[in-house]
Amino acid sequence: MTQPNDTLIARLDELDRRMDDLVARMNDPQVASDPQQIVAISRERSRLGRIVEPYRVYRKLRSDLDEARAILADSASDAELKELAGAEVEDLRGRVEKAMENVVGLLVMSDEDEIDSVVLEIRAGTGGEEAALFVGDLLTMYRHYAERRGWKMEILSTSPTDMGGFREVIASIKGEKAWSRLGYEGGGHRVQRVPKTESQGRIHTSAATVAVLPEPKEIDVDIDWDKDVNEYTSRAGGPGGQSVNKVESAIKLEHVPTGITVSMRDEKSQHKNRAKARRILTLRIYEHHRSAQAAEEAAARKTMIGSGDRSQRVRTYNFPQNRCTDHRLKGEGQEGANFNLERIIDGDMDDLIDALIAHDRARRLANLQP
């Protein structure tokens, strides 16, 4: 059980006071007449309510438990009242523990559940054409998983190879809890199998990298598109020089302060490529600042929500043994780390992702300890 230490209670009390402040502001006639403020306050109130309401349930149960214990400790209480109080203490103790576990779980994971849109970037690593084919396999895996979850996937950009693979794919995925479930996919993915180009049946190891960028409904990123971003245009063309575009529709954007670049060439319209490139650049800059802030907080203290670092090598797909191994779960035992590869590639990923969420939640809960 997670013990409610002083730091945790102070944080929850702070959120509780903030909730009261938001309610008071919504009842202010001046604020009520401003639709923009009302929408912003309502959104924050809804977000906080997911934590504050269960916390208030915990406080009520805790108060009832304290009263029952006080009756037991009071020498003036009669025997029948003490017997009733004793039964209440046993019942309430378990309910208080469960209520606190629920509150803490919501506190450490609630921000993740709010984001229902992500941008998925898959890039070929070492392994040449086999790595590019593996990128296509990963794209198919995520497409099937999105279909199982009822999510919508939109391909934003592709860089195909002559053999049907991809050097890079960028896709948007929208749906309930998309970030909280797909965020664990970021990192290095390794495949072990006999490539199509291998004539002697030897097993090769190739790699791809996956980046998952959360796309919050409101992104607070200050970008001066005229001063901070360099834009370059060029003619777009397909693989092997096919479908060469005579108009300079391909766009490359460079954000000078961070050095982040984005290239977009899939659309024949320069305007559409620019719009997509700006969207991706905004997300990458947002993630750059978010990661930097999380790293700074983690270095300064144990944060309430954990570091959220998901950038390490994460998974191996072993085709000869039909085994998918997630390396982050090895501490949970060999059985917990391995999954049926055929099912995973077919998009049946919920068991794997549920295990990762439980693992991450336990890690974050550990960070709550003083």
pLDDT band (50, 70, 90) for residue 3:
low
CB 245 within 8 A of CB 268: yes
Tell me 174's DSSP state: E
Using one digit for the tens of pLDDT, what is the confidence trace for 331-344? 654 444 899 999 99
Q: Which residue carries 């059985």 as its tokens?
A: 335
Q: Is 272 a member of any domain?
A: yes
CA–CA separation, 315 and 290 (whole Å): 24
Termini Cα distance of the chain: 15
Q: Are residues 307 and 292 in the same domain?
A: no
Q: Is 223 a member of any domain?
A: no
CB 193 within 8 A of CB 161: no
If we measure between CA atoms, which residue out of 233, 223, 242 comes closest to residue 269? 233
Say what the pTM is: 0.67
Assigned token pair, 334 = 């060999």
List the beta bridge partners of residue 263: 252
Higher-scoring residue by pLDDT: 311, 322: 322
Q: Are residues 54 and 121 in the same domain?
A: no
pLDDT computed for residue 318 by the predictor: 95
10 Å CB burial of residue 329 (0-12, 13-18, 19+) is: buried
Using one digit for the tens of pLDDT, what is the confidence trace for 262-285? 988 877 788 889 988 988 888 888
CB 365 within 8 A of CB 303: no
Q: Are residues 51 and 173 in the same domain?
A: no
- CATH number of the domain that 245 lies in? 3.30.160.20
CB 172 within 8 A of CB 181: no
C-alpha triplet 80, 83, 85: angle, nearest 5°: 110
pLDDT computed for residue 241 by the predictor: 43
pLDDT computed for residue 149 by the predictor: 96
Q: Is 141 a member of any domain?
A: yes
Using one digit for the tens of pLDDT, what is the confidence trace for 132-168? 999 999 999 999 999 999 999 999 889 999 889 999 9
Q: Are residues 312 and 342 in the same domain?
A: yes
Q: Are residues 99 and 137 in the same domain?
A: no
pLDDT computed for residue 36 by the predictor: 81
Domain count, the chain: 3
- CATH number of the domain that 156 lies in? 3.30.70.1660
Task: Mark which of 95, 113, 131 sits at the end of a domain.
Answer: 113
Domain holding 318, by residue range, is: 116-217+303-367
Task: Mark which of 60, 95, 113 sits at the end of a domain.
Answer: 113
pLDDT band (50, 70, 90) for residue 306:
very low
Q: Are residues 134 and 252 in the same domain?
A: no
Task: Mark which of 97, 113, 129 sits at the end of a domain.
Answer: 113
pLDDT of residue 303 exceeding 60, the answer is: no
Using one digit for the tens of pLDDT, what is the confidence trace for 192-237? 999 877 777 788 999 999 988 887 665 667 788 888 899 988 876 5
pLDDT computed for residue 294 by the predictor: 57
CA–CA separation, 359 and 356 (whole Å): 5
pLDDT of residue 330 exceeding 90, the answer is: no
pLDDT band (50, 70, 90) for residue 2:
low
Assigned token pair, 233 = 């245009």
